[in-house]
């Protein structure tokens, strides 16, 4: 697993946490770590193998907890925090963020109030006229979402 892939894991975790309404300081720490990891010149796999957790902690934004998650990612391809959070909130909800007009707050509203957690569910929801019931989605945004789904 290369540095950009590790960074992507932390970005996805932060996005899922934002949709869930989790602590904004924690999700910011994951985003900051992702930014540092993505551009770090040395492969994290090499740092972990040679220096372990203390070596990973030398990267700005990477503390002991995130360093531990990096080691888990390198060993298993996933980490416990991701597994826990995706049992409660499906990772497919992140696909909604790819649709213009749907940000984290709208994705959270769609998931919590209307139980929409995937693109297929969103397509069905839109086809049944559900967007008109969503507070904060006006006609222009609704049209943009419909266009993106076509």
Q: Give the per-residue pLDDT at 133.
A: 86
Give the pLDDT confidence score for residue 131 in this predicted structure. 87
Look at the pTM and tell me if it is higher than 0.75. yes
Which residue stretches of the chain have pLDDT < 50?
A: none
Assess whether 60 and 17 both reside in one domain: yes
- Predicted pLDDT at 51: 96
CATH code (residue 97): 1.10.150.20
User: Domain holding 29: CATH number?
Assistant: 1.10.150.110
pLDDT in the model for residue 43: 97
Is the domain of 13 the same as that of 64?
yes
Same domain, 10 and 78: yes
Question: Which of 109, 149, 103, 108 is CA-nearest to residue 126?
Answer: 149
Based on the number of CB atoms within 10 Å of its own CB, is 107 exposed (0-12), middle (13-18) or buried (19 or more)?
A: buried
For residues 82 and 103, state if they share a domain. no
| Look-up of token digits 């397509």 | 123
Angle at 37 between CA 15 and CA 60, to 5 degrees: 105
DSSP string for 95-122: GGGGSTT--HHHHHHHHHHH---SHHHH
Alpha-carbon dihedral angle through residues 22, 80, 68, 21, given to the nearest 10 degrees: -10
What pLDDT shows up at residue 50?
96
Task: Judge if 84 and 12 occupy the same domain.
Answer: yes
Query: Do residues 37 and 13 touch, judged by C-beta distance below 8 A?
Result: no
Question: The domain containing residue 114 runs over which residues?
Answer: 91-149
| Radius of gyration for the chain, computed over Cα atoms and rounded to the nearest angstrom | 18
Using left for φ > 0, alpha for ψ between -120 and 50, and beta otherwise, residue 73 falls in alpha
Q: Could you tell me if 36 and 100 lie in one domain?
A: no
């Amino acid at each position: 697993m290369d540095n950009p892939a590790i960074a992507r894991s932390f970005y996805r975790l932060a996005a899922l946490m934002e949709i869930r309404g989790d602590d904004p300081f924690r999700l910011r720490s994951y985003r900051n770590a992702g930014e540092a990891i993505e551009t770090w010149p040395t492969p994290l796999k090499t740092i972990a193998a040679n220096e372990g957790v203390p070596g990973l902690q030398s990267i700005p934004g990477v503390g002991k907890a995130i360093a531990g998650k990096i080691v888990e990612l390198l060993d298993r391809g996933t980490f416990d925090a991701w597994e826990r959070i995706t049992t409660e909130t499906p990772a497919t909800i992140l696909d909604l963020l790819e649709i213009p007009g749907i940000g984290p707050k709208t994705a959270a509203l769609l998931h919590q109030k209307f139980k929409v957690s995937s693109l297929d569910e969103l397509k069905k929801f839109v086809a049944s006229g559900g967007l008109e019931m969503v507070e904060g989605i006006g006609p222009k945004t609704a049209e943009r979402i419909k266009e993106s789904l076509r």
